[in-house]
Amino acid sequence: MIRGRRKVPMHTTVSLVALGDIAFLLITFFLLSTNFARGAKIEVDSARAPAIEKLKETPLVVQLDKKGQLWLRGKPCSVADLETALASLAATVENKTVTVTIDKNQRQTAYGPVILAVSRAGLEIALAGEKDDRP
C-alpha cells in the first residue's frame, strides 16, 4: 500500500508592528498637510457691497484685522516683512493672486502699505468682502 505524505499544519504569524508604523506615518502626514491656521482667531469685519463676485480660494491670504494686526496665511506678519514673504511664497504656488481682507473700520493709512507691499511683490490683488443683499 502506498501512503501519501502526511500534511503538517503550518503555523503562520502576522506581525502587526508594521501596521502600527504605517498608521503613525499616515496620521503624521495628514496633520502636516492640513492647514489649521487659515482664518483662525482673526476678527475681520468685512466690507459689504452689492456687486461682489465669488472668487476661487487662493493659497495666499493677507488679512488686516480690527486691531490693525496684519496676518499672512493665518500667522502674524509685519508690513515691512510682507513683500519679501509674499515674493518667496509666490515662487511655490501656481495661482499668483493674493486674497486681501481688510476690516471695514481700518483707515487708508493702515491698509495702504499692505496694498503697496502686495503690488511690489508682483502679485494680483483680490479684495475680499461680503455681498450686501439689502436694497
pLDDT digits (tens, 9 = 90+) for 51-71: 666 677 788 888 888 888 888
Q: What angle do CA 51, 128, 44 make, to 5 degrees?
A: 120
pLDDT of residue 34: 73
CATH class of the domain defined by 48-131: alpha beta
Cα distances (angstroms) measured from residue 15 to each of 11, 22, 24, 85, 94: 13, 13, 16, 47, 43
CA angle (66, 69, 72) in 5-degree steps: 115
Give the Cα separation of 75 and 135 in Å (integer).
Answer: 37
User: What share of the chain has pLDDT > 90, as a percent?
Assistant: 0
What is the C-alpha separation between 27 and 43, in angstroms, rounded?
30
* pTM score of the predicted model: 0.58
